[in-house]
Structure 1
């Protein structure tokens, strides 16, 4: 007889339904409807990955794959291209991007025979998809050449956007529009503010240190040719208010 405890993970959705009916759960978990529509598999047979099936020599008893049933790493050709592009252009990651898709098939609506796309802003993904299209259209083309061609088109479009932006600003100002400070100007002001505060704190620290050093005098030890040996010669010190401090009352401090 099959022990049902081994299949307890398959009863998670059923147990959650019972707890909802009994009132032990106040609301449905985030995974509740998904697990109900797509339940986990009940097959206990492990399938050997295809890359291990293609082995020409059969596995021996002393030599078997240690990671045969481990999840295989999923890799896409776009991943390497994205890594290369954003390593060369790290500031592109600072640009805002829209990650919302209507049906998850937006990539089918674009024609990557050209770089600019209607309804899609220019970004690093445009370079990646354009490079893939060039490699598919011209199989003899190397990856470096396709990357250079896509990158050149990307630079030209970025320059065109910058020129259009400047012309729009000039036209708006000609019509009487006023603009606030740019992010660069705001950043420079904040930097100057912190530098000025650092300068004031440094000056105050130096003044306090000099005042502390001028308050106490260094004790000068002089050797005396007496049987007592070395006798410290303590002079009268001047306090902060200008009053004279007696030698026996003076605080001794050696920096």
Structure 2
């Protein structure tokens, strides 16, 4: 059939023909199984359906005093795909993906903090209660803000995305400030008992900057002298760039009249 290779679909018939012709003495064990469950004969693959993004919200309906849990379905915009990418696995997205993108866009330096990705059982998330931001056994990071914001959106009635983001950020900033104060107090207590920590990162950076500045100053001085010498050679002056003063006439030397 031209470019289509149907050898794999006819593997059972090939085995039966080989047994009938005497090429093999015994049929393989999979012959009956392939006869009962034959391979698919459809050669055209349909484009897979796009997954829908389902969001959970708690809203108060008009005329009702009790909030209710509502599931909103967000239709994904279907983008035209290239033929080479048409049958690739679908990209699975969750609601917290967009929340995580927005947080790290506003706080890029949080990505530079070290993170612990190792879990003991792989189900550590089941022990977390995101009704509060700080969790026992988990270090405070950007993922805590994302999960806290998602909890507020899914459980607090009539909660908006921006309001939940502001609440989670405010709690995050307060805990970060408390960590900085605890770290500073611990360092002061250690120094009071005789500990020496050496230069700080800021002092090391300033020292490296000063060394680089002194190196650049020496290089700039050398370059300035080279340029002065080139200019002096071009105009025929002294290499130092300082012209010699004119010699005064001797006392007995007569100045010619103009």
Task: Bin the TM-score by the shorter chain.
Answer: 0.5 to 0.7
Q: Gapped runs of 5+ residues in structure 2?
A: 12-38, 52-82, 241-258
Greater relative contact order structure (CA < 8 Å, 6+ sep): 2
Aligned to 1:4: 8
Match of 2:165 in 1: 147
> In structure 2, how many angstroms separate the alpha carbons of the residues matched to 1:139 and 1:92?
30
> Within the alignment, does 1:194 sit opposite 2:197 as a pair?
no
Match of 2:116 in 1: 98
Task: Give the deviation of 1:208 after TM superposition.
Answer: 1.4
Q: Show the 5 A alignment for 1:67-216.
A: 69-216=87-234
Partner secondary structure for residue 4 of structure 1 = coil
**Alpha-carbon shift at residue 180 of structure 1 (Å):** 1.1
CA deviations 1:107-154 (Å, max 9, x no partner) are 222111111111111100000000111111114100110010000000
- For residues 6 and 204 of structure 1, do their structure 2 counterparts lie closer, same or farther at Cα, with a shift above 3 Å needed? farther
Cα distance in 1 between the residues matched to 2:239 and 2:49: 89
Aligned equivalents of 1:150, 1:43: Cα separation in 2:
52
Query: 2:228–2:239: 8 Å Cα contact kept in structure 1?
Result: no
Classify 1:43/1:146 alpha carbon distance in 2 versus 1 (closer, same or farther; 3 Å): farther
Alpha-carbon offset, residue 104 of structure 1:
2.5
How far did 1:209 drift?
Answer: 1.3
Please, what TM-score do these two structures have when normalized by structure 2? 0.60
Deviation at 1:50, TM superposition (A): 4.2
TM-score calculated relative to the size of structure 1? 0.61
Distance in 1, Cα, partners of 2:8 & 2:190: 73
CA distance in 2, matches of 1:184, 1:6: 73
CA distance, structure 2, for counterparts of residue 156 and residue 6 of structure 1: 69
Give the secondary structure class of the aligned counterpart of 1:195.
Answer: helix
The alpha-carbon distance between structure 1 residues 5 and 178, as it changes in their structure 2 partners (threshold 3 A), is farther
In structure 1, C-alpha distance between the alignment counterparts of 2:239 and 2:199, rounded to whole Å: 52
Q: 1:239 to 1:210 in 2, by over 3 A?
A: closer
